[in-house]
């Protein structure tokens, strides 16, 4: 590699400075999970490299949790959407054309891997193409390094780097890959997330401007569906959208239709959701913390 190439490599690195993300306002994490994550942070502080799998149902805060970890412990953060990588070389960099000449620009992922204490999120790892993921397995196991033909050097994971991977539960029903055994083995720590308890979920909605009675009606609706004999997965994200609709002047029914019911493709689930909606609309007691 000649010196101009290196300059471009350096330049590419400088342009992609990794930042500590801001705290997620109002993001709720259980006390147990805070403890779990603080143990991860302690290991990372001692220079260990830690891999953590975050699993849970859709829209329960998996992606946000990884970002929030970086924010809480003031770490630079980098996120890869695994499903978007179609070929293994994307991990390392790509050729760029500049004034008729081709330059190789190192990928941000490599830059993040080489940044001490960086938090790297491999988001929706079960959507990764297996052959694409195989190319970086060496970074995730005891080797913590791999030779890159593209970069022509041995990439090493910096001290204290934390890899998070998220896994959406239930996606196997929609034809998304189950988690590969090789990947599972490389993530020996797991944080299992679920939707926040009723009281906390109502508080989240209120912190976004929703009135207390409406917040309690929405969370009651969601919890009824989640514990139905054939559960309807209503996510915290969907409740937030319903709350936004109500804040824009929609009725409870309109908001729930827009955020949850009209997007449901399963007629039986839609029917269950409509029944639960009818119930919270009619039930005057579903409106305060004492009844939640
Ligand atoms: N525990 C929580 N506290 C506050 N807000 C939450 C919480 N969980 C989810 N949310 C809200 O829902 C949104 C979706 O969260 P996020 O994208 O992190 O979930 P996810 O589990 O990664 O979703 P997906 O399954 O679609 O990948 C967040 O932007 C946040 O507004
Ligand atoms: Mg996510």
65 CA: nearest ligand 1 atom: 18
| Residues 6+ away with beta carbon under 8 Å from 12 | 93, 105, 106
109 plus 172 within the same structural domain: yes
Say if ligand 1 is within 6 A of residue 145 CB: no
Q: Which of 175, 192, 209 is the last residue of a domain?
A: 192
Q: Which of 159, 192, 225 is the last residue of a domain?
A: 192
Q: What are phi and psi of 64, to 5 degrees?
A: -65, -35
pLDDT given for residue 147 in this prediction? 95
Residue whose structure tokens are 């941000």: 108
Q: Is the CB of 196 under 6 A from ligand 1?
A: yes
Considering the domain architecture, whether residues 164 and 214 belong to the same structural domain is answered as: no
Q: How confident is the model at residue 11 (pLDDT cuts 50, 70, 90)?
A: very low
Residues 143 and 228 in one domain: no
Q: Give kind and range of the element (H or E) at residue 115.
A: none
What pLDDT score does 16 carry? 54
66/82 same-domain check: yes
Question: What pLDDT does 94 receive?
Answer: 86
Same domain? 177 vs 52: yes
Name the closest-CA residue to atom 9, ligand 1. 61
Helix (H) or strand (E) holding 275: helix 267-282
* Assigned token pair, 26: 């109002």
Check whether residue 35 and residue 144 sit in a common domain: yes
The reply to whether 165 and 202 lie within a common domain is no
* pTM metric for this prediction: 0.88
Q: Does residue 9 have a pLDDT over 60? A: no
β-strand 145-148 against 50-56: which pairing, if any?
unpaired
Minimum CA distance residue for ligand 1 atom 13 = 237
Please name the residues in contact with 105: beta carbons below 8 A apart, sequence gap of 6 or more. Answer: 8, 9, 12, 93, 94, 95, 96
Both 249 and 179 in one domain: the answer is no
> pLDDT tens digits, residue range 75-111?
999 999 998 988 999 999 988 888 888 888 899 999 9
Number of structural domains (the chain) is 2
CA angle 87, 90, 92 (to 5 degrees): 135
How far is the centre of ligand 1, averaged over its atoms, from the C-alpha of 28 (Å)?
A: 10
Ligand nearest to the CA of 243: 1
Dihedral in degrees, nearest 10, Cα atoms 93, 40, 24, 211:
140
CB within 8 A of 244, min separation 6: which ones?
Answer: 208
Which residue minimizes the CA distance to atom 31 of ligand 1?
A: 237
Contacts of 221 (CB under 8 A, 6+ apart): 234, 256, 276, 277, 280
* 3 state DSSP class of 146: strand
Interval 157-173: pLDDT, tens: 999 999 999 998 876 55
Shared-domain flag, residues 41 and 124 = yes
- Structure token digits, residue 47: 């220079």
pLDDT, mean over the chain: 88
Choosing from 192, 222, 247, the residue where a domain stops is 192
Backbone angles phi and psi of 95, in degrees to 5: -75, 135
Select from 149, 238, 190, 254 the least CA-distant residue to 36.
190
Residues 84 and 207 in one domain: no
Same domain? For 206 and 181 the reply is: no
Residue 237's contacts (CB-CB under 8 Å, 6 or more residues apart) are 58, 59
Residue 233 in contact with ligand 1 by CB distance below 6 A: no
Q: Give first-to-last CA distance, the chain, whole Å.
A: 65
Q: Could you say which ligand is closest to the alpha carbon of residue 62?
A: 1
Q: Ligand 1 centroid vs 240 CA: distance in angstroms?
A: 9
- Summarised one tens digit per residue, pLDDT across range 222-260 is 999 999 888 888 999 999 999 999 999 999 999 999 999
Ligand 1 centroid – CA 197 distance (Å): 14
User: 60, 83, 198: which to mutate for ligand 1, most atoms within 8 A of CB?
Assistant: 60
The residue whose CB lies within 8 Å of the most ligand 1 atoms, and thus the one to mutate among 28, 61, 126, 201, is 61
> Is the Cβ atom of 204 under 6 angstroms away from ligand 1?
yes
Same domain, 102 and 153: yes
Region 261-270: mean pLDDT is 87
Question: Which ligand has the shortest distance to the CA of 123?
Answer: 2
In sequence order, which residues have a C-beta less than 8 Å from that of residue 4 and are 6 or more positions away? 103
CATH of the domain at 44: 3.40.50.300
Query: Distance between CA atoms of 212 and 110, rounded to whole angstroms?
Result: 46
Which residues sit opposite 122 in a β-bridge?
Answer: 80, 165
Q: Mind listing the pLDDT tens digit for each residue in 174-206?
A: 556 677 888 899 999 999 999 999 999 999 999
The answer, yes or no, to whether any atom of ligand 1 lies below 6 A from the CB of 64, is: yes
Structural domain that includes position 10: 3-192
User: Which is nearest to 57 in space by CA: 172, 201, 164?
Assistant: 172
Contact 113, 120 (CB under 8 A): yes
Which residue's CA is the closest to the ligand 1 atom numbered 4?
27
């Amino acid at each position: 590699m000649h010196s101009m190439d290196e300059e471009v490599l350096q330049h590419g690195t400088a342009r992609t400075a990794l930042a500590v993300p801001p705290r997620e306002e109002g993001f709720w994490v259980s006390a147990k999970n805070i403890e779990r994550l603080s143990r991860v942070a302690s290991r990372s502080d001692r220079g260990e490299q830690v891999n953590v799998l975050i699993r849970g149902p859709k829209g329960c805060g998996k992606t946000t949790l990884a970002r929030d970890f970086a924010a809480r412990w003031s770490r630079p953060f980098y996120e890869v959407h695994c499903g978007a990588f179609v070929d293994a070389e994307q991990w390392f960099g790509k050729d760029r054309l500049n004034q008729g000449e081709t330059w190789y620009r190192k990928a941000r992922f490599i830059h993040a891997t080489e940044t001490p204490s960086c938090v790297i999120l491999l988001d929706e790892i079960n959507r990764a193409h297996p052959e694409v993921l195989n190319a970086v397995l060496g970074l995730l196991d005891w080797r913590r390094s791999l030779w890159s033909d593209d970069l022509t050097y041995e990439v090493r994971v910096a001290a204290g780097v934390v890899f998070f991977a998220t896994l959406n539960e239930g996606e196997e029903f929609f034809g998304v890959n189950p988690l590969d055994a090789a990947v599972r083995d490389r993530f020996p720590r797991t944080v299992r997330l679920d939707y926040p308890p009723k009281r906390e979920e109502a508080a989240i909605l209120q912190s976004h401007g929703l009135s207390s009675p409406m917040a309690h009606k929405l969370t009651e609706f969601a919890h009824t569906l989640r514990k139905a004999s054939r559960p309807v997965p209503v996510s915290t994200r969907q409740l937030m959208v319903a709350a936004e609709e109500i804040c824009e002047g929609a009725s409870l029914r309109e908001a729930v239709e827009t955020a949850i019911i009209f997007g449901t493709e399963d007629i039986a689930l839609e029917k269950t959701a409509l029944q639960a909606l009818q119930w919270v609309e009619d039930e005057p007691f579903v409106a305060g913390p004492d009844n939640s």
